[in-house]
């Protein structure tokens, strides 16, 4: 079946530190990959996506590259801010499955001054 594995949190960083949140996947088909972010008390928002191998998704300083050879989609940001504190979800979607998203367990990021 399809599954997404994320690193356990919480991840605690000081402001301006470099962020990596690991995400690997297993899929029966050829997935599209996503990162969603959930700020406290809010619903999920799409942060970035990649639809084919070697694509790089980017938004708000965050980046992730679709690596088919390592089945990974790690999230990175060069310099985090306190406002980036949230829960980050990696997800995949296989085409033809009514756009069902399969999520990882989420990784909480806490950024301190």
Q: Which residues pair with 84 in a beta bridge?
A: none
Quick one: 64 or 102, whose CB is closer to other proteins? 102
Q: Encode 38-53: b = buried (16+ Cβ within 10 Å), e = exposed.
A: beeeeebeebbbbeee
Tokens of 8: 């356990």
Does residue number 46 form part of the binding site for other proteins (CB under 8 A)? yes
Q: Which of 17, 27, 87, 94 binds other proteins (CB under 8 A)?
A: 87
Binding site for other proteins (CB under 8 A): 32, 34, 36, 38, 41-46, 49, 51, 87, 89, 93, 98-103, 105-106, 108
């Amino acid at each position: 079946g399809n599954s997404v594995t994320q690193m356990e949190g919480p991840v605690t960083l000081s402001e301006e530190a470099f962020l990596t949140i690991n995400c690997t996947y297993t899929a029966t088909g050829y997935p599209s990959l996503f990162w969603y972010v959930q700020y406290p008390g809010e619903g999920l928002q799409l942060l970035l996506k990649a639809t084919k191998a070697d694509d790089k998704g980017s938004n708000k300083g965050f980046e992730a590259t679709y690596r088919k050879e390592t089945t990974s989609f790690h999230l990175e940001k060069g310099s985090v801010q306190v406002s980036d504190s949230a829960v980050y979800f990696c997800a995949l979607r296989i085409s033809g499955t009514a756009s069902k998203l399969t999520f990882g367990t989420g990784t909480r990021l806490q950024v301190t001054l």
